[in-house]
Amino acid sequence: MEGSYPFKTGLVIYSSYPEVRSDPDLLLQRLALVARDTTWDAVEVQYVADTSYWPKIQRIIQDAGMDVIACAGPACVRLGWDLSSLDPAIRKAAVTGMQLAIDFAYSIGSRALVYMSGKDPGNGRKEEALNALRTSLAALSDYACQHAVDYRLVLTLEPADRDVQLKRLIGPTADAVAAVAEAREQGMLTDVTLDMSHVALLGETFEEAAGLLGGMVTHAHVANTLVCDPSRPEYGDQHPRFGLPGSEFGLPDITRFLDTVQSRCFSKAGPFPYGKPVVSLEVRPSADADPDILLSGAKRAFFSGLAGSTLQRGD
């Protein structure tokens, strides 16, 4: 809880309960359960297309006194919103979709909207795709500014793998730094969500990624991944439980990640969209797992990892 740490604790609800991605009624049910759990200061909710659910989501968040982070990442992947597409029609559709996600974010009271770049086009066309992404971000920044209420929405880029599963343009941390730095120079309100599992999927280290990003990071995901065996169902961007045999991360890695993000990112960032950094837990149940039991185990790992970190001690 916020009172115990110099940051806000969050949960990525659409990973812990994957069924909510396609069923907004289940989202409301699961959101109510999360809202009753005072462990969490914030909850990350995926974009919901049906506008009739927006005030219902907002009501739960407000009644619980929680913060909410809107996430367009699932839509970027599942609906093919490709903001860096070299096809103008595809890119236009992605911008239109993201504008709806901006409306959603404002409607539910979110101060940040997490998004991903489009697919890596390959064939030496990276710079063309980066230029397309710049054009899309400029349009979205203008839209977010024009529709601002009593605050202006922050667009937060979540880098993902380029070669494993999602195969995004951004991608390597150095490319994220360049894109966000240029956007900020042009007056756009944007930052970065750093996911510890994506760092591993990119073949980078915590120290490398956090060192490059510095104060661009105001939001982090604590998550595991498995990269050693493509034949396993947990391979790639699946966020299995911590300590799973063959996976990348256990409790000491949570502590190391948070210490690194605190010293190299959070300590240099600000102002924060939510007043403080947000550190969210992201874990996804396997097909035969009980999601509530898995989440309980992940919470234990999360807070055990926090216990020895500089975030816990407030250094």
pLDDT digits (tens, 9 = 90+) for 284-314: 999 899 999 999 999 999 999 988 776 554 4
pLDDT digits (tens, 9 = 90+) for 172-216: 999 999 999 999 999 999 999 999 999 999 999 999 999 999 999
d(Cα 285, Cα 294) in Å, to the nearest integer?
6
pLDDT for 36:
97
Angle at Cα 218 formed by Cα 313 and Cα 198, nearest 5°?
95
d(Cα 64, Cα 41) in Å, to the nearest integer?
9
pLDDT < 50: residue spans in the chain: 313-315
pLDDT for 164:
94
pLDDT for 153:
97
Name the β-bridge partners of 194: 220
168 three-state secondary structure: strand
| Phi and psi torsions of 125, nearest 5° | -110, 25
| Phi and psi torsions of 296, nearest 5° | -60, -45
Model pTM? 0.95
pLDDT for 3:
55
Q: Which long-range contacts (CB under 8 A, 24 or more apart) does 183-188 make?
A: 183/134, 183/137, 183/138, 183/141, 186/138, 187/141, 188/137, 188/138, 188/141, 188/155
181 Cβ contact partners less than 8 Å away, ≥ 6 residues apart: 216
What six digits make up the tokens of 313?
């001690």
The greatest distance separating any two alpha carbons of the chain, rounded to the nearest whole angstrom, comes to 51
CA distances in angstroms from 314 to 3, 259, 266, 307, listed in the order given = 12, 11, 12, 11
24 three-state secondary structure: helix
Other beta carbons within 10 angstroms of residue 180's beta carbon come to: 23
d(Cα 272, Cα 212) in Å, to the nearest integer?
19
d(Cα 169, Cα 200) in Å, to the nearest integer?
16
pLDDT for 7:
87
Angle at Cα 308 formed by Cα 303 and Cα 310, nearest 5°?
105
pLDDT for 123:
83
Three-state helix/strand/coil letters over 99-118 = HHHHHHHHHHCCCEEEECCC
pLDDT for 2:
54
pLDDT for 287:
87
294 Cβ contact partners less than 8 Å away, ≥ 6 residues apart: 16, 241, 283, 285
Residue positions counted in the chain: 315
Domains in the chain with CATH codes = 11-313 (3.20.20.150)
d(Cα 32, Cα 36) in Å, to the nearest integer?
6
